[in-house]
């Protein structure tokens, strides 16, 4: 039986594609490894971040994901034909070289941002399903990966999706491992899913498709996705595939591998550093995600995985996976994907000792809990190749650490961050603003801590508090003085009121203000927004610098990290097109004046004026914080969003005329990526 996964992605809709080299996510490879262990050896993985992205960099007009945001256009394509959408969908399949398979699994797990992004991903999946059915008659298509919502919300979404789109045969809700195993067995044997699956699964008809999910009794259960899913008795067919092995595609991995020289060029590192970095110029930097454990024994009140069942591979089994990935793919650089590398100090020591003994010459990053660290463990981490430590500090004040049951004191946090810093580790701290009971005094104390520890901490993720499903806060709201409200659309969270505190809408606004304030405080403290702009995205740069220079040169690594920069190549082309194309002439003919600022690395800034009215504009790529949902003062294009603000000293009609011209200016700024006839048509339209 031939199985294929299509890994869809919104990457070209954000700045991720040019900010840092991409790395493969582990979800589909983990699922492929599970199925290979069950005897399904013929599995292909087609990744939208590979060949299609390469085409987008050079000719963005070829990849127009924003077409899938147009629901009416998608409906026309599904019901009959829509030429541009048909051509775009065919381009995606052709560029990924998709071949015939018996079962195609379309994954939406990369679509996590906002409602607009997820709706686009669903529309993309619908169109891919139609194209697959037309191209490969008789194939089956299943959908999964809507993980950014609760199980009941997923069930409703999948049910509606199957009713709307007859090109899907199946949708899998919740964890996909066992559901896909039984689906593959059913197709292999030519029987129904109900005949192949045990009683714990439901397959409900929705439209022409089947909605598959795991259930207990008559109720849908909250089946969370698992990284480590054991095969049922009798289903283990290929023991040569290690348990928990992520079966990355060799072909995809070639597209994600970079030489040191390519990374140096990508990040525009100073010419003066070339001789220092030269020893690693020919090294291959393929960075893969791997996990050794899941679940968490700790009891942080805010966390959805607090005190969940803990499982870990043995140190020997963990190292065997690393050896295999090294042997098959040549990988020596990893982003370990554990909730905590050190759930206990004893476990961490055994695993580090096994990695050291294997002499694989690795460089890697992972999450560590600061409560289980000491000088001996840090020394072992360094010897084993750890270069970046991601540590949850959450809210570094004495009151807040106690309130959330973090199990840490400020002294312990500072002491261990200093240990890591002196060992040459790159310290990345996770913060959570807007925790319940937060006061202005708490915010000031956090700012004081940030200032005091700035020499020890290299980068930050500044998150906002969510009332997460299954966290102790959410499971026992009365204990903590919360009144839970409605289920929110995304991120498995609920609204809430604090007893004797703020109502939800005010709390939500204060939370946003607190998050913005702390982020801006760090940006000023560090002199750049880059230190709050990445969590693991900068890993290629850090792994390269540590590979070339070593822990002993951390100060030099910090300087080169600061000096590194990337540019959006589309910005320079858009600037040149607006400056030299027909847009300025067309605007002038309409009585409007376009004044371009000098070109920037990532933005195109300009003003548009008419009489006494002026609109200040900036074209930039979308980000994790600015996605597809509509907002005042913002227009979305295929490659850029246009943010604008205006003022009028003259007639109000002049400002209205300027705003009315903005969609045409945005289209013209993106016209350089289109065929010549369409460029000319856009200029005339302005």
CATH number at residue 526: 3.80.30.20
195: its two tokens: 């005949």
Position 227 in a domain: no
368: its two tokens: 């560590």
Residues 321 and 419 grouped into a single domain? yes
3-state DSSP assignment of residue 45: strand
pLDDT digits (tens, 9 = 90+) for 456-474: 999 999 999 988 888 999 9
DSSP E strand stretches across 197-273: 201-206, 209-216, 219-220, 258-259
How far is the C-alpha of 485 from the C-alpha of 479, rounded, in Å?
A: 16
pLDDT digits (tens, 9 = 90+) for 242-265: 999 999 999 999 999 999 999 999
Residues 577 and 526 grouped into a single domain? no
pLDDT digits (tens, 9 = 90+) for 528-553: 999 997 778 899 999 999 999 999 99
Position 241 in a domain: no
Report the Cα–Cα distance between both ends of the chain, in Å, rounded: 54
Which residue, among 552, 587, 547, 541, has the nearest Cα to 682 in the 3D structure? 587
Residues 524 and 610 grouped into a single domain? no
Residues 546 and 674 grouped into a single domain? no
Predicted local confidence at residue 317, as pLDDT: 97
56-84 mean pLDDT: 92
Residues 531 and 582 grouped into a single domain? no
pLDDT digits (tens, 9 = 90+) for 202-226: 999 999 999 999 875 444 444 455 7
Residue 478, Cβ density class (10 Å: 0-12 exposed, 13-18 middle, ≥19 buried): exposed
How far is the C-alpha of 594 from the C-alpha of 644, rounded, in Å?
A: 14
Flag the least confident range among 144-158, 422-436, 637-651.
637-651
Band of residue 648 on the pLDDT scale cut at 50, 70, 90: low
Domain boundary among 535, 563, 591: 563
Predicted local confidence at residue 223, as pLDDT: 46
Q: What are phi and psi of 656, to 5 degrees?
A: -60, -40
Residues 6+ apart with CB under 8 A from 505: none
Distances (CA, A) of 439 to 144, 399, 442, 516: 41, 11, 5, 15
Residues 405 and 442 grouped into a single domain? yes
Predicted local confidence at residue 680, as pLDDT: 46
Domain boundary among 563, 578, 612: 563
Band of residue 490 on the pLDDT scale cut at 50, 70, 90: low
Q: What are phi and psi of 461, to 5 degrees?
A: -115, 120
Eight-state DSSP code of residue 310: P
State the chain's mean pLDDT as an integer.
91
9-15 mean pLDDT: 87
Eight-state DSSP code of residue 444: H
Residues 545 and 584 grouped into a single domain? no
Predicted local confidence at residue 534, as pLDDT: 74
Distances (CA, A) of 378 to 285, 314, 591: 24, 21, 66
Band of residue 169 on the pLDDT scale cut at 50, 70, 90: very high
Position 8 in a domain: yes
Torsion of CA 190, 194, 195, 196, to 10 degrees: 70
Position 245 in a domain: no
Position 474 in a domain: no
More confident residue, 192 or 625: 192
Residues 542 and 653 grouped into a single domain? no
Position 471 in a domain: no
How far is the C-alpha of 506 from the C-alpha of 192, rounded, in Å?
A: 52
Predicted local confidence at residue 649, as pLDDT: 67
Contact yes or no for 430/461 (Cβ under 8 A) = yes
Query: Mean pLDDT: which of 47-51, 546-550, 610-614, 629-633 is highest?
Result: 546-550
Residue % of the chain over a pLDDT of 90: 72
Residues 297 and 396 grouped into a single domain? yes
Residue 591: half-sphere exposure toward Cβ, Cα within 13 Å: 10
- Residue 603 predicted with pLDDT over 80: yes
Residues 387 and 348 grouped into a single domain? yes
484-506 mean pLDDT: 78
82-89 mean pLDDT: 96
How far is the C-alpha of 199 from the C-alpha of 201, rounded, in Å?
A: 5
- Per the structure, the count of domains in the chain is 3
pLDDT digits (tens, 9 = 90+) for 669-685: 988 766 554 544 444 45
Position 331 in a domain: yes
Question: In the block, which residue shows the tokens 């290629």?
Answer: 540
Residues 668 and 542 grouped into a single domain? no
Position 244 in a domain: no
Predicted local confidence at residue 226, as pLDDT: 74
Predicted local confidence at residue 492, as pLDDT: 63
Domain boundary among 563, 588, 614: 563
What is the extent of the structural domain holding 85?
3-220
Residues 550 and 584 grouped into a single domain? no
């Amino acid at each position: 039986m031939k199985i294929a996964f299509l890994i869809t992605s919104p990457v070209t809709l954000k700045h991720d594609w040019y900010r840092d080299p991409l790395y493969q996510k582990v979800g589909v490879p983990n699922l492929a490894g599970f199925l290979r262990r069950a005897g399904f050896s013929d599995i292909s993985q087609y990744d939208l971040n590979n060949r299609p992205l390469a085409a987008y960099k050079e000719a963005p007009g070829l990849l127009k994901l924003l077409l899938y945001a147009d629901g009416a256009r998608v409906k026309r394509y599904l019901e009959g034909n829509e030429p541009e959408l048909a051509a775009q969908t065919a381009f995606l399949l052709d560029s990924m070289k998709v071949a015939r398979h018996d079962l195609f699994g379309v994954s939406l797990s990369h679509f996590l941002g906002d409602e607009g992004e997820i709706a686009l991903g669903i529309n993309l999946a619908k169109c891919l399903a139609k194209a697959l059915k037309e191209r490969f008659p008789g194939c089956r298509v299943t959908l999964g990966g809507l993980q950014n919502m609760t199980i009941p919300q997923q069930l409703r979404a999948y049910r509606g999706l199957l009713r709307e789109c007859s090109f899907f045969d199946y949708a899998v809700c919740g964890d996909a491992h066992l559901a896909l195993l039984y689906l593959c067995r059913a197709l292999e044997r030519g029987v129904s899913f109900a005949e192949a699956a045990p009683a714990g699964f439901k397959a409900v008809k929705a439209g022409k498709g089947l909605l598959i999910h795991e259930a207990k009794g008559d109720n849908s259960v909250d089946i969370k996705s698992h990284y480590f899913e054991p095969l049922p008795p009798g289903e283990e067919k290929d023991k040569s595939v290690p348990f928990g092995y992520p079966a990355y595609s060799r072909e995809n991995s070639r597209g994600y591998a970079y030489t040191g020289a390519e990374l140096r060029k990508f990040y525009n590192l100073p010419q003066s550093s070339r001789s220092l970095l030269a020893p690693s110029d020919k090294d291959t930097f393929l960075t893969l995600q791997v996990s050794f454990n899941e679940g968490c024994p700790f009891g942080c009140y805010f966390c959805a995985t607090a005190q969940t069942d803990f499982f870990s591979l043995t140190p020997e089994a963990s190292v065997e996976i690393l050896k295999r990935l090294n042997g098959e793919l040549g990988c020596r650089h990893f982003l370990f994907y554990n909730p905590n590398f050190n759930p206990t100090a004893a476990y961490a020591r055994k695993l580090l000792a096994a990695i050291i003994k294997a002499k694989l010459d690795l460089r890697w990053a992972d999450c560590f809990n600061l409560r289980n660290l000491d000088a001996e463990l840090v020394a072992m981490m360094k010897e084993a190749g750890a270069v970046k430590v991601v540590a949850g500090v959450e809210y570094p004040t004495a009151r807040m650490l106690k309130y959330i049951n973090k199990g840490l004191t400020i002294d312990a946090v500072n002491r261990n961050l200093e240990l890591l810093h002196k060992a040459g580790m790159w310290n990345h701290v996770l913060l959570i603003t807007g925790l319940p009971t937060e006061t202005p005094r708490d915010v000031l104390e956090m700012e004081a801590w940030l200032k005091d520890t700035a020499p020890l901490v290299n980068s930050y993720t500044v998150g906002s508090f969510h009332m997460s499903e299954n966290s102790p806060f959410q499971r026992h709201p009365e204990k903590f003085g919360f009144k839970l409200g409605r289920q929110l659309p995304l991120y498995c969270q609920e609204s809430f009121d604090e007893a004797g505190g703020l109502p939800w809408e005010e709390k939500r606004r204060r939370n946003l203000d607190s998050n913005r304030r702390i982020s801006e405080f760090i940006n000023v403290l560090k002199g750049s927004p880059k230190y709050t702009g990445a969590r693991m995205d900068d890993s290629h740069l850090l792994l390269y610098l540590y590979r070339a220079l070593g822990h002993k040169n951390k100060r030099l690594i910090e300087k080169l990290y600061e000096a590194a920069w990337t540019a959006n190549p589309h910005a320079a082309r858009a600037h040149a097109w607006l400056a030299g194309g027909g847009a300025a002439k067309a605007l002038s003919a309409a009585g409007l004046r376009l004044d371009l600022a000098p070109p920037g690395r990532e933005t195109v800034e300009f003003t548009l004026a008419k009489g006494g009215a002026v609109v200040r504009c900036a074209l930039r790529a979308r980000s994790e914080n600015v996605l597809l949902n509509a907002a005042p003062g913002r227009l979305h294009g295929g490659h850029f969003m246009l943010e604008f603000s205006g003022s009028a000293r003259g007639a109000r009609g002049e400002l209205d005329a300027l705003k009315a011209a903005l969609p045409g200016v945005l289209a013209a700024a993106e016209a350089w990526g289109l065929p010549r006839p369409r460029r000319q048509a856009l200029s005339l339209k302005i």
